[in-house]
């Protein structure tokens, strides 16, 4: 079956986005300084927290019987790794702008949406790989997923969507500033939000303003939905909450990235 004339531009844009996405993945893989911290640091933090606070699992109501605190921390490792990868993707776009590659793309007949989609595709691919990697690496140490294959798929889907959301925000900052340092400066803010959530410690054991902030933090809702899949079993409702939070981040991030890219293109034209 042949494509119609109207399908031509869409197919052309899709091929361009795929090519730029492959470039983003290859470029990322060839720079260990980009992906090693996103892989090693979450594992180290999970190992330290699991060793130091493993006894929390013995408190009634924290984790279900037969589960471990390492299982409790599995979603935190995935989310933390995805944050590294998503923001590094935006930083790479800023590097392209600073180095002149972006201007060459603009001067070529490349579709404008493909520039953004290709870069974000690379971030999503890395987020999916990380979600699988952390599950595989931590599984021999007792970080099983009670939800089985459906629960594992939810963790991967959430990781991919979160990569898209954070990557789009980082890409928007890159288009706005053209400075990798400005994009990297966004990471501490996101990291603080992660620590002000239930990612590394149960909300019910917190107190005061810290507990209140954690309860209202959307990252808590997302992480808790992932944690249900790990500790209790596959739950479509909990999965919907996690995915819904990610979709909200994606919507805001894509709106921001699109507007900033249009602004950058207007300047470059």
**% of the chain at pLDDT higher than 70:** 94
Contact indicator for 145, 135 with CB cutoff of 8 Å: yes
| Spatial CB neighbours of 204, under 8 Å, sequence gap ≥ 6 | 61, 62
- Mean pLDDT (whole number) for 151-167: 93
d(CA 124, CA 177): 22
- Read off the pLDDT of residues 27-76 as tens digits, 9 standing for 90 and up: 777 777 767 777 888 888 888 888 877 777 778 877 888 888 899 999 99
CB count in 10 Å sphere of residue 226: 30
Model confidence pTM above 0.75: yes
d(CA 263, CA 79): 30
Max Cα-Cα span within the chain:
64
Q: Of 3 and 154, which is predicted with more confidence?
A: 154
DSSP-assigned letters across all residues of 144-164: --TTHHHHHHHHHHHHHHHHH
Q: What crossing angle do the helices spanning 148-177 and 69-99 adopt, rounded to 10°?
A: 30
């Amino acid at each position: 079956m042949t494509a119609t004339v109207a399908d031509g531009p869409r197919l052309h844009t899709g091929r361009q986005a795929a090519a730029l996405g492959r470039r983003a993945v290859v470029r990322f893989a060839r720079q260990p300084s980009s992906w090693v911290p996103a892989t090693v640091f979450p594992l180290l933090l999970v190992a330290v927290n699991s060793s130091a606070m493993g006894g929390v699992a013995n408190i009634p109501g924290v984790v279900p019987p037969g589960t471990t605190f390492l299982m409790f921390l599995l979603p935190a490792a995935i989310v933390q790794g995805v944050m590294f990868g998503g923001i590094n993707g935006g930083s790479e776009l800023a590097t392209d702008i600073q180095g002149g590659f972006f201007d060459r793309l603009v001067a070529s007949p490349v579709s404008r949406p493909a520039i953004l989609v290709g870069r974000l595709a690379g971030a999503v691919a890395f987020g999916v790989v990380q979600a699988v990697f952390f599950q595989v690496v931590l599984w021999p140490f007792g970080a099983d997923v009670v939800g089985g294959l459906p629960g594992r798929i939810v963790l991967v889907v959430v990781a991919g969507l979160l990569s898209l959301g954070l990557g789009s925000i980082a890409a928007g900052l890159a288009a706005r500033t053209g400075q990798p340092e400005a994009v990297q400066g966004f990471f501490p803010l996101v990291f603080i939000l992660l620590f002000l959530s239930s990612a590394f410690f149960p909300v019910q054991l917190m107190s005061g303003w810290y507990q209140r902030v954690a309860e209202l933090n959307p990252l808590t809702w997302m992480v808790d939905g992932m944690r249900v899949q790990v500790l209790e079993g596959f739950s479509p409702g909990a999965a919907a909450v996690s995915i819904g939070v990610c979709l909200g981040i994606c919507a805001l991030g894509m709106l921001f990235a699109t507007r900033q890219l249009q602004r950058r293109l207007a300047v470059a034209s």
